[in-house]
Structure 1
Amino acid sequence: MKTHLVLLRGINVSGHNMIKMEALKSTLESIGFQNVVTYIQSGNVFVDSDEESPFAVGFQIKQEIFKTFGHEVPVVVIGKQDLENCFRNNPYLKEKEPDTKKLYVAFISKELASGALNDLKMSQVKPDEASIDASRIYIKYAVGAGKTRFDQKYIEKKLNVTATIRNWNTVTNLLSLFEDRNG
């Protein structure tokens, strides 16, 4: 049995794609996922499955959400190792006194090519900053996430990927929950 962290994009935001977490939990259990636990209302779900492939888990969940709730919801599935790597490799945490309220991570649906940072055309979103590591983009917003053009839509358009962004506080809590699950 493998634990997967399922990151749903764009649910329960500004009254759109509303899904109650208890209903989502029941739906995922009904299709065979075990130990389903949700974290906050924005689409963070832990599931246990015999399925090893994050892509297969994501596809199954995406299909079931559409079938049950009628919402086309992008899904990114990651494992504990990926989340641990996220902590080790965030370059902005190495700065003297980093402002973690301005740090975010975009989780991407596939491994990014080495030239992906150039493809983001960061000069168009300055003074925001970004750094790429495998299937993650570390983001440091100059002002804040609500006042930038550098959002998931921008990333998806420039890189032709599915992306979902979490603030550093959420990422930290998700890793803690992962550790609590797996001991």
Structure 2
Amino acid sequence: MPRTVALIRGVGGPTALKMPALREVLASAGVGEVETLQVAGNVVLDAAGRASGDIAQAIRDAVRGAFGFDLPVVVRTHAQLVDTVIRNPWADAAEGRWVQTVFLDGRPASVALALPDGILEEAVLDGREVFVRYPEGIGGSKLQAGWFEKQLGVVGTARNANTIAKLIAMSA
């Protein structure tokens, strides 16, 4: 049975979480058996019939209670992750780490996305995701997840195509 993926935004630096501790905290909070990928807040779990919003809130509450960090959580099912790859116009790009999907916690009020002049990056808003291609790398780009949050008025967290492929495999 396919599993669900929770993406915790902002894991790292001053809000770094040890993945073994995170797995233990989430299991204790009743989220169930979880797997993590990397140290970036990628959690794969069995939804057990729970709504995505309930899962996100349970994880957010558990992280705040155990670690003291109030980090937003965006949840997608396995099928929804597969669908993002299908809809991503740059899914076949040779350099998967330079293609990102910004997963939004809701539909933005505006469907228009005005990119700054003079940038090389390309971005497409499609539903609750923004697909971004960084032809010269992500590091120096202005188009980070926070930029999209400000433009669209919703919370988002980004994952590159390589990470999404791994999460799809783990949640299958």
State the SS of the aligned residue for 2:102: strand
Contact 1:92 1:98 in 2 (8 A): no
d(CA) in 1 for partners of 2:63, 2:33: 18
After TM superposition, the score normalised by the length of structure 1 is: 0.86
Write the deviation string for residues 11-46 of structure 1: whole angstroms up to 9, x where unpaired.
Answer: 12xx31121111110111111122211111111001
Change (3 A) 1:17 1:166: same
d(CA) in 2 for partners of 1:135, 1:43: 19
Write the deviation string for residues 130-164 of structure 1: whole angstroms up to 9, x where unpaired.
Answer: 11222111100131110101011101111111100
Tell me the equivalent position of 2:70. Answer: 72
How many correspondences in the alignment? Answer: 172
Tell me the equivalent position of 2:18. Answer: 20
Tell me the equivalent position of 2:134. Answer: 141
Write the deviation string for residues 36-81 of structure 1: whole angstroms up to 9, x where unpaired.
Answer: 1111111100122434210111011111111110001111011011
d(CA) in 1 for partners of 2:46, 2:94: 34
**Gaps spanning 5+ residues in structure 1: where?**
none
d(CA) in 2 for partners of 1:153, 1:121: 15
Regions of 4+ moved over 3 Å: none
Write the deviation string for residues 78-136 of structure 1: whole angstroms up to 9, x where unpaired.
Answer: 10111010111111236xx64433211100101345x42x2x32134622111122211
Amino acid in structure 1 at the alignment position of 2:63? I
Tell me the equivalent position of 1:107. Answer: 103
d(CA) in 1 for partners of 2:143, 2:118: 6
Change (3 A) 1:36 1:158: same
**Which structure is richer in relative contact order (CA contacts within 8 A, separation 6 or more)?**
2
1:150 has 2:148 as partner: no
Amino acid in structure 2 at the alignment position of 1:146? G
